[in-house]
Amino acid sequence: VVLALEVPNGFTRLLRLSLSTAAVLLVARLVLILAPVTLHRLLHRAGTGQAAHTGLTGRLAAYQPLLRAMLRIAIGFATVLGLLEVWGVPVLSWLLQAELGARLLRTLWSIAFTIGLAVGLWEVANLAVERHLARLAASAQPARSARLRTLLPMLRTALLVTICVIVALIVLSEIGLNIAPLLAGAGVLGVAIGFGSQRLVQDVITGLFLLLENVMQVGDVVTLAGMSGRVENLSIRTIRLRAMDGSMHIVPFSA
């Protein structure tokens, strides 16, 4: 093609372009080889010592595949940008100087920061709960530990749903969508669900306060809704009561 078109300094430019492309690909390949090893060492070092006793090692190991995938995507994106710059396409200057490129970078940074903050908040809450459970187990308080484990699934689910909803609304707002109709629709839907499941909400709220106040524990002999027996299980909504004749009664907290 260079010979046919008689491009001025064509072979020199072709050689320089080929060498630059090879250099970018070589650097990208080296980074792709070294980055996962470095990431593994950092996570292993962060998960040793005191962190190993708090459950941090398992959580870091769970995030390792996701971090590797994100690292590969970042390296691939940087490689594409480097190749475009080498081939004469000014992508970096467009991203840094043009109004649309700067807005795109700000949006991506805001979304990444929001997701990272949400994940950090979720992990801090989980680590705090696990440390508290470990302290209760070490201080020989099985009743409080069992009560907290009863409440834990509901608290985790509520926290996860709250975080996901807030992150989704922030992301939609950052990409330019109007979230006011979504908030209004969610409010109407929440009111409808609240009216339709009043007994369930009453069970959960009453059970939450009864468990927090430690009104009864597994093994207590109590009288509930006119039935007497021994408490065999406490959930967030019901109590399983074993009567003296051996029959099992499931009593909702609202009763």
pLDDT 10s digits, 55-79? 566 666 777 788 888 888 889 988 9
Cα dihedral 42, 44, 50, 55, rounded to 10, equals 120
Q: Phi and psi of 232, rounded to 5°?
A: -100, -30
Give pLDDT tens digits for 202-223: 887 888 788 777 777 778 888 9
Exposure string for 56-68, b = 16+ CB within 10 A, e = fewer: bbebbeeebeebe
Please give the span between the terminal C-alpha atoms of the chain, in angstroms, as a whole number: 86
Q: What is the pLDDT along the chain (255 residues), one digit of tens a residue?
A: 777 777 787 788 888 888 999 999 999 999 988 888 887 777 777 656 555 555 566 666 777 788 888 888 889 988 998 888 888 888 877 777 778 877 888 888 888 898 889 988 888 888 887 777 777 777 766 666 666 776 777 778 888 888 888 888 888 888 888 888 888 887 888 777 777 777 777 887 888 788 777 777 778 888 988 888 898 887 778 888 898 888 999 988 888
Distance CA 253, CA 239 (A): 7
Distance CA 190, CA 208 (A): 20
Closest CA to 145 of 155, 154, 153, 135: 135
The radius of gyration of the chain's CA atoms, rounded to the nearest angstrom, is: 29
Q: In a 3-state reduction of DSSP, which class is residue 215?
A: coil
